[in-house]
Amino acid sequence: MASSSSKVQLIIDGKRTDGRGQEDLRNLRIEVGVIPEADGSSYVEWGGNKIVCGVYGPRECIPRHEASPYHALVKCRYMMSPFASLEEHSRSGPSRRSTELSKVIREVFENLVMSEKFPNTQIDVYIDVLQAEGGTRTASVTAAAVALANAGIPMKDMVSAVAVGKAGDLLALDLNKMEDNFGQSDMPIAISHRDRKILLVQMDGLLTRDEIAKILGMAERGCDQVNRIQADALRRFYERGEEESVRW
Amino acid sequence: MGEEVKDIIMANIRRDIMGNTLSKGIRFDGRSFDEYRPIEVQMSVLQSAEGSAMAKIGQTMVLASAKFDIVKPFADRPREGVLVTNSELLPTASPSFEPGPPDENSVEMARVVDRAIRSSECIDLSSFFVEEEKVLGIYIDLYVMNHAGNYTDTAALAATAALMDMKMPKVEGGKIIRGEYTGMLNPTKLPITTTMIKVGSNWLTDPSREEERVLETALTIGTTEGHVCAMQKGRGSLSKDELLERIDIAFKRGDDIRRILKG
Amino acid sequence: MERRIVLPGEKISEGRLNAPNTYYDSGITYAAVIGMMDEEGRYIPLENRYRPNVGDVVVGMVTDVRHAGFEVDLRLPQGGFIPTRDVRLTLQLGDFVICKVKSVNEVGDVDLGEVRRLPKGKIIEFPSAKVPRLIGKKSSMLNLLKDYVGGDLMVGNNGYVWASEQSDMPLLLAAIMMIEKKAHKHGLTDEISAFLQSQRGERPAGSRESGEEGQTAQGEEEITGEGYGKQQF
């Protein structure tokens, strides 16, 4: 998080760097069932983010000793590709950041997946970020919800996620990479659709209590927008019935 | 009973049933023995890499990213650029892929594709010198996104397409200016690999996942327009005559695929 | 009422419905998996993970032979089990079987009974949610396939289909893939029939009655249909 005396101009003529209004989402496109081998899958393009999610399960729990006789284990692996950044090529493999994100994303779905129906099994959620531009974790949650629905894994609710925050002194929805890097606060949040429960929230930077109350409202409205796009993607896929080639 | 013994018994049963269909000169998916599944290539799928392509052979999908970086040259070749090829069998791509570092199959695939590209001399690495201790390096990442059989050929196809797609970056003061380009890489050759397997007495080109499960011999041959540029035998054995026959098929199919790439 | 797609967490009805793939909370039943509300307001899951129920007909392959019994791959996270004392057959590794689910316990162990060994053949995977469509009303779709493809077919609720070795595999696989992709469309049986005809000519002699043509959506998608309950056994 940069200090508020950062020289980067995040608001130009009252508009954000990419011309969006305060509560405008970046372009969000979702495709369902893009990985035929997987039990469920999705592809999300959100701003400059490109994310693939594949779901397997319930399947045999490995290692065996980790299995629970009461419910399925939900496992999540979030990975950033070495070619995802617009800058340098980085090293492959897990990082501390990807380990943390795998955990917080898993904790979203532990609330929703009706895991008691499948004791002694595991459900795997694999998230691969092919291209990153700020907000990969919220795009990942959004993708995973669609992939789990595509896999037919029973869930209590759908969930959508978006990042809210403060950039250039403006409270804003769906921060892009510049706003994330140079803004004053970033708060990714995931909200379940029917129940309106917060299933993921993280925050850095500085915000007053009132500012947070305001952006929580913005987040709910943002998540509703995202949910509409998830629902459209799923309906399109199931009404179509046949697989068309996905344009990546 | 040991896992391996079980696998062998299962494979034998599957091979038996497949043999019935093969004896009629056709495969389970209706293809003839030397036919590829439908092939599709989409280029420029990533903006974060100078070159990229998604290749599809049947349902097998591989994403290739080709990205430039400034790197240190090898000590024995101080004025030559560097080519590094890595692969990932994404656990998303198949119930049989586990998360973790690349296993022997993943590593083999990356090295075979790398060999085909390097031997083909389709890129002039000596043109990548920047300044003392700095050369341009190309990182090719091969991401297997869906495994329905023969990810090797799909990966090689994606890699070659990504190189065709690749822009040359602007280099200033020993640094890459991202987002600014000076032209295209323009590889001078198009290396393609052709993978073939033997089931019973039948050689099948472009094996499906099911066919791979019952293979007795595996062979991958890389070709350019006029030469063989790579060979890799996997499991099993074959005769000299069989190898020469397979090379002929590899040239035919390689040329077919090069035509698709050139559009 | 119009057909519409419902997502997990969407309301299906007031009161407790007690249908699979739904859940009940504070007076309302909700969908737990993606499904469809049909013209009669009934909820039909479009995807689901198969959970064995006592009495289900299942098809599988013997993957382990132990002193106490046989383990059977049923395309579930855990294998099904046939206790030796319950079966007169001596099964071998790799044998195909059709049987009934005898019991399921809280940790997911499945015991199998009424076991019949199937002859040499091939196992094909098919989504369990769409199995009723593969069988069809009064087995119409299944019989259609058997007539054109030759050989015998057995369908398990668990999503395994067994085809005997005499079957025309490429034709069968192509037809099954079509059925999978178009499972909830109207007039599918006619479409498959037309496809099979175009590949094979007239329906081979000695074919049985094809059942009622022009079934309503109700018949085609009936999840609890008698189709598989009474299947060849």
State residue C233's pLDDT score: 27
Distance, CA of C174 to chain centre? 17
Taking an 8 Å cut-off on Cβ atoms, the answer to whether B9 and C94 are in contact is yes
Domain-wise residue ranges, chain A:
25-236
- Taking an 8 Å cut-off on Cβ atoms, the answer to whether C94 and B13 are in contact is yes
Residue B229: band (very low, low, confident or very high) from pLDDT cuts 50, 70, 90: very high
Contact B95 A37 (CB under 8 A): yes
Portion of chain C with pLDDT greater than 70, in percent: 87
Q: Where does C4-118 show beta strands of DSSP type E?
A: 4-6, 11-14, 22-25, 28-31, 35-37, 43-45, 57-65, 69-73, 80-83, 96-104, 110-118
What percent of chain B has pLDDT above 70? 99
Say if residue B78 is preceded by a cis peptide, omega within 30 of 0: no
Q: Which residue of C25, C33, C49, C128 to mutate against A (max A Cβ within 10 Å)? A: C49
Split into its structural domains, chain B has a count of: 1
Would you state the pLDDT for residue C217? 22
Which stretch, A49-53, C3-7, C76-80, has highest mean pLDDT?
A: A49-53
Go through the domains of chain C in sequence order and give each one's CATH number: 4-45 (2.40.50.100), 57-118 (2.40.50.140), 126-229 (no CATH)
With beta carbons under 8 A apart, name residues in chain B contacting C121: 17
HEC string of B84-138 equals: EEEEEECHHHCCCCCCCCCCHHHHHHHHHHHHHHHHHCCCCHHHHEEECCEEEEE
Contacts of B47 in chain A (CB under 8 A): 48, 86, 131
CA-wise closest residue to A109 among A70, A66, A61, A157 = A157
- pLDDT above 90 for C220: no
pLDDT band for position A244 (50/70/90)?
A: low
Helical spans, DSSP H, in C138-168: 140-149
Chain B CB within 8 Å of residue C178 CB:
no
Beta carbons of B1 and C121 less than 8 Å apart: no
Find the CB nearest C9 among A39, A117, A158: A158
Query: Measured between CB atoms, does A89 come within 8 Å of chain B?
Result: yes
pLDDT at B20 over 60: yes
Q: What is chain B's mean pLDDT, rounded? A: 96
List residues bridging with B143 in a β-sheet. B63, B88
- pLDDT higher than 90, residue A83: yes
User: What gap in Å lies between CA A247 and CA B248, rounded to an integer?
Assistant: 34
Which of C5, C34, C108 is closest, CB to CB, to A120? C108
User: Please, are residues A58 and A77 in contact by the beta-carbon 8 Å criterion?
Assistant: no
Q: Does B9 touch chain C (CB under 8 A)?
A: yes
Q: Tell me which residue in C61, C93, C121 faces B17 most closely, judged by beta carbons.
A: C121
Identify the chains in contact with A, defined as 3+ C-beta pairs within 8 A: B, C
CA distance A235 to A55: 19
The residues on B that touch A, with CB distances below 8 Å, are 40, 42, 45-49, 52, 54, 56, 59, 61, 63, 65, 67, 69, 86, 88, 90-95, 99, 101, 139, 141, 143, 145-148, 178-179
pLDDT at B45: 97
Between C9, C107, C129, which is nearest A193 by CB? C9
What is the rounded average pLDDT for all residues in chain A? Answer: 93
Positive or negative, the CA dihedral B243, B246, B251, B257 is negative
Contact B29 C165 (CB under 8 A): no
Residue-level pLDDT at A241: 65
pLDDT above 60 for B249: yes
Render pLDDT for B115-155 as a digit per residue (tens, 0 to 9).
999 999 999 999 999 999 999 999 999 999 999 999 999 99
Q: Helix, strand or coil for residue B201?
A: coil
Task: Give how far C203 is from chain B: nearest CA, Å.
Answer: 20
CB contact under 8 A, C46 and A238: yes
Mutate to test the interface with B, among A46, A102, A133, A248 (most CBs of B within 10 A): A248
pLDDT mean over B164-190: 96
> C-alpha B185: how far from its chain's center?
19
Q: Identify the weakest region by mean pLDDT among B221-230, C40-49, C109-118.
A: C40-49
B162 SS3 class:
helix
Q: Which chain C residues are within 8 Å of B16, Cβ to Cβ?
A: 120
Q: Does C165 touch chain B (CB under 8 A)?
A: yes
Protein fold of A25-236: Ribosomal Protein S5; domain 2 (3.30.230)
pLDDT at A12: 85
Residues 100-139 of chain C whose Cβ lies under 8 A from any Cβ of chain B:
120-122
User: In this model, does residue A185 exceed pLDDT 90?
Assistant: yes
Looking at residue A242, its pLDDT comes to: 55
SS3 call for C43? strand
Distance CA C57, CA C62 (A): 16
Instruction: Output phi, psi for C184, to 5 deg.
Output: -105, 25
What does DSSP assign to residue B82?
Answer: E
Closest by CA position to B58, among listed A81, A243, A43, A239:
A243
How many whole angstroms separate alpha carbon B190 and alpha carbon B186? 10
Q: Does C170 touch chain B (CB under 8 A)?
A: yes
- The rounded radius of gyration (Å) of the Cα atoms in chain C is 19
Contact C93 B6 (CB under 8 A): yes
Which residue of B63, B94, B179 is in closest CB contact with A130? B63
Residue in A59, A120, A195 closest to C107 by CB: A120
Chain C residues in contact with B13 by the CB 8 A cut-off are 94, 120
Its pTM stands at 0.92
C4, C5, C7, best to mutate vs chain A, most A CBs in 10 Å:
C7
B30, C165: Cβ pair inside 8 Å? no
Which of A48, A50, A126 lies at the smallest CB-CB distance from B90?
A126
Kindly state the tokens that stand for C138: 């009064």
Q: Which of A120, A152, A193 sits opposite C129 (nearest CB)?
A: A152
- The pLDDT assigned to C162 comes to 97
How many A×C Cβ pairs under 8 Å?
A: 95
* Mean pLDDT of the C164-177 span: 94
Instruction: Work out how many CB contacts closer than 8 A connect A with B.
Output: 86
Q: Which of residues 169-208 of A touch B (CB under 8 A)?
A: none
Residue B149 belongs to domain with CATH number: 3.30.230.70
Q: Which residues of B touch C174 (CB under 8 A)?
A: 30
pLDDT at residue B118, rounded to an integer = 96
C-alpha to C-alpha distance for B254 and B36, rounded to whole angstroms? 11
Its ipTM equals: 0.91
8 A C-beta contact, residue B42 and residue B53: yes
Please tell me the number of Cα atoms within 13 Å of B202 on its side-chain side: 23
Asked if B137 and B82 count as a contact pair (C-beta separation under 8 A), the reply is yes
Is the pLDDT assigned to residue C207 strictly greater than 60? no
Whole domain around residue B255: which residue ranges?
3-262
Q: What DSSP designation does A142 have? A: H
